Structure 1
Amino acid sequence: MSVRFVGIDPNTGTANSPTVWVDDADGTIMIQGFTASESQIAQVLEAGHGPGHENTIPAHEAVIHIPARMVPILRKACDDAERSQLH
């Protein structure tokens, strides 16, 4: 199995917690987070998408949010994903 646990919200209880994994085979980062609220989604749409992209969220995609306290875990996941592609 190439998917590896990287970290979980440090303020977690025992369930439903933001979590990060890395697939060492292809460097993919997977994130479990809280589903964004309607207000957050509206703010994302107002902020816009990159040039040349429709300003929509397709049905097969989702906006999630994770606590800022997880930034170190995301950095580690990015570093791990990058390293996995150097082999």
Structure 2
Amino acid sequence: MALDFVGVDPANPDDDCPAVWVDSESGDFYFQGESVTDPDVLAWINSDSRLKETESVVRLPAAMAQIIMEAARGDYERDRRRFTPENHPRPAEDVRTRREQAELR
């Protein structure tokens, strides 16, 4: 699996913000955001598109529209990383660097 990082919410530069990725092989989108739990919102969504037990609704702020459009157009920078191996805030959780180092051996 290889996901291309597209961007994060420009209004939230900390490490806990919403983000967007694209699967480099299938073109599928992956969104990290606040899980929606409001029963009224879920009922509204469910009235148009049945929510399965395996599905969830994620809210992304309007400020991320440009990032989402960049992902949809496919004109984002491939292999972009938010954190380099040298400045990753949680090195033990940096799966990409561990995988890249293992492939070099």
CA offsets, 1:46-72, max 9 Å, x none?
4x12xxxxxx31111101111111111
C-alpha root-mean-square deviation of aligned residues, in Å?
2.1
After TM superposition, where is structure 1 displaced by more than 6 Å over at least 4 residues in a row?
Answer: none
Matched, 1:72 2:66: yes
CA offsets, 1:8-51, max 9 Å, x none?
001114233110011111111111111112222122124x12xx
- Compute the TM-score of the two structures, normalised by the length of structure 1: 0.73
2:41 corresponds to: 40
Identity level (%): 30
Matches for 1:52-67 after TM superposition, within 5 Å: 56-67=50-61
1:27 corresponds to: 27
**Bigger RCO of structures 1 and 2 (CA < 8 A, at least 6 apart):** 1
Number of corresponding residues: 75
| Structure with the higher strand share, 1 or 2 | 1
- For structure 2, the 5+ residue unaligned runs are 76-105
